[in-house]
Amino acid sequence: MPSRSRMSLYVCVVLLGYGCTVSNQITNTPRSSIEQRLLVRALERALANLDSRPFKGKTVAVDFYGLTADKDFAKEFFTAWLQSQGVRTVASADQAQLHLKVFASALGADQGQSFLGVPAFTVPLVGFVVPEIPLFKNIKHAGYAEIKISATDTTTGDFVNESAPATGRSAYDDYTVLVLIHFTRTDWKRRPGVWWVTDDSENRIRASLAGRERRFARLFAYYSTDRGDGMKLYYNPQSRAVIAKWMLDECGAKYEIVPIDFTKQEHKTPEFLKINPAGKLPALVDGDSKIFEGAAIRLYLGDKFPEANLAPKIGAAQRGRYLSLMVYSTSQLEPAMGDALLKVQPLPQRGWSEFETVKDVIEGELGDGPYLFGDWFTAADIMIGSMFIWKRMWGTPPERPRLEAYVDRLLARPAAMKIGK
């Protein structure tokens, strides 16, 4: 008959074997500070995909409907956003031109956990408590918001407008590996899907481990850091690559500049022609992806960095107008402006309008807002605005005040393009 100590050992072995499993559970939790921030970020991103132009300059009354207790906060947040978009809000529909019914079909933050290791347990008979030993542990926090607006005319009661559902997501993950290694991953400030070590976690790893474990920690920290691997911009300051650089800087991207010397014909080398067979700048390499042509680079980066909020998401109501403006810049604005600056008589068969007509179109799209989408600065402003910046730097005299003020606002941005630098 085995002794008491031997029986205890057997029980421990059984529990250890049982504990080394993966658990994955999702639960709703009270709002921690992390989850509050996640909810706010999700709301911000959802609102960024809503089109406020149908309500701009109007007086509206807002009714907000949601299925969670967060709806009261979300209503105030939404109302403040409307006001920032130039929409007047009132408490009573009797005083409003439009009655907005806002439906938050999803609004909340969830928490889940994945665990691989030995859970905490008490050794039978002995009473000794063995703490949790995680080989891998991930506590996941996720924020999600989905908002839709229905508008009616308060005078006639007629339906006026209904937005497509706009969604926003945010994430925060807390990881523990091999008991001592701890790091977090979040898309609050950086692009989703990228892992990095936060705060002084690498220093804590170095202080906690020795020998091979210490070397492993350094390696782990290095590969967990967002280094922007593979992102290379082939660049000459006297080319359209300055516009691509502007877009990268607005995205907050990490990238390497590869200088191209035109005097040495480096843009015509066999190596470069594998990237851009036309032998022109800009050209961008992101891992295995090779992107050339300025519009393609701006479209690619706008979708790659959704947290930079420079492009409406696919399916958003503003997406069609956004794509139209992006293409209009290269198909109409640039060639028409080139004809005007070079004093070339435009020919109808070329397919683009006269420059004065193009400027009429841009002024109409700009409206009274600071940018093409009101207060929302997008990649379309980089595409359209860069052409008018080129025009000013060409030395042409000032003309239409609205377009000149638009250029001034763009050049005042910290990341604005700088020709020749």
- How far is it, in rounded angstroms, from Cα 286 to Cα 297? 11
Residues 34 and 136 in one domain: yes
Give the chain's domain count. Answer: 4
- How far is it, in rounded angstroms, from Cα 243 to Cα 311? 16
- How far is it, in rounded angstroms, from Cα 35 to Cα 38? 5
pLDDT value of position 383? 97
Is 87 in contact with 55 (CB distance < 8 Å)?
yes
CB atoms within 10 A of CB 28: 10
Phi first, then psi, for residue 158 (nearest 5°) are: -75, 145
pLDDT value of position 127? 67
Residues 173 and 275 in one domain: no
- How far is it, in rounded angstroms, from Cα 375 to Cα 310? 12
Is 141 in contact with 109 (CB distance < 8 Å)?
yes
- How far is it, in rounded angstroms, from Cα 54 to Cα 58? 9
Q: Evaluate if residue 325 carries a pLDDT over 60.
A: yes
Query: Residues 264-292: what's their mean pLDDT?
Result: 94
Residues 342 and 353 in one domain: yes
Give the pairing of strands 98-118 and 59-66. Answer: parallel
Residues 115 and 246 in one domain: no
Q: What three-state secondary structure class fits 71? A: helix
- How far is it, in rounded angstroms, from Cα 82 to Cα 166? 15
Residues 331 and 220 in one domain: no
Whichever domain contains 95, its CATH number is 3.40.50
Structural domain harbouring 417: 313-421
Domain boundary among 310, 335, 354: 310
In a domain, 1, yes or no: no
The contacts of residue 126 (CB under 8 Å, 6+ apart) are: 8
- How far is it, in rounded angstroms, from Cα 50 to Cα 163? 7
Is 374 in contact with 242 (CB distance < 8 Å)?
no
The contacts of residue 233 (CB under 8 Å, 6+ apart) are: 241, 244, 245, 248, 255, 256, 257, 258, 282, 283, 284
Looking at 183-197, 267-281, 337-351, which range is the least confident one? 183-197
Query: Residues 122-148: what's their mean pLDDT?
Result: 77
In a domain, 184, yes or no: no
Q: Which of 45-49, 97-101, 147-151, 311-315 has the highest mean pLDDT?
A: 311-315
Give the pairing of strands 21-28 and 98-118. Answer: antiparallel
Q: Which long-range contacts (CB under 8 A, 24 or more apart) does 23-29 make?
A: 23/113, 23/114, 23/115, 24/112, 24/113, 24/114, 25/112, 25/113, 26/110, 26/111, 26/112, 27/110, 27/111, 27/112, 28/108, 28/110, 28/111, 29/109, 29/110, 29/111
Looking at 286-295, 325-334, 339-348, which range is the least confident one? 339-348
How do residues 74-103 score in pLDDT, each as one tens digit? 888 888 888 887 888 888 888 888 888 888
Residues 237 and 338 in one domain: no
How do residues 11-34 score in pLDDT, each as one tens digit? 344 444 444 444 443 334 455 677
pLDDT value of position 39? 81
- How far is it, in rounded angstroms, from Cα 372 to Cα 333? 15
Domain boundary among 116, 145, 179: 179
Phi first, then psi, for residue 156 (nearest 5°) are: -100, -20
Query: Residues 124-139: what's their mean pLDDT?
Result: 74
Tell me which of 284 and 166 has the higher pLDDT.
284
Query: Residues 318-329: what's their mean pLDDT?
Result: 96
pLDDT value of position 222? 35
Query: Residues 284-289: what's their mean pLDDT?
Result: 93
- How far is it, in rounded angstroms, from Cα 47 to Cα 25? 30
pLDDT value of position 295? 95
Tell me which of 358 and 198 has the higher pLDDT.
358
- Per-residue pLDDT band at 1 (split at 50, 70, 90): very low
Angstrom distances, CA of residue 79 to CA of 86, 88, 93, 344, 371: 11, 9, 14, 51, 21
Q: Evaluate if residue 225 carries a pLDDT over 60.
A: no
Looking at 150-159, 181-190, 216-225, which range is the least confident one? 216-225
Q: What three-state secondary structure class fits 118? A: strand
How do residues 361-379 score in pLDDT, each as one tens digit? 999 999 888 999 999 999 9
Residues 172 and 120 in one domain: yes
Token look-up 């979300």 returns 74
Residues 127 and 109 in one domain: yes
In a domain, 185, yes or no: no
Buried b / exposed e over 280-294, threshold 16 CB at 10 Å, is bbbbbbbeeeebbbb
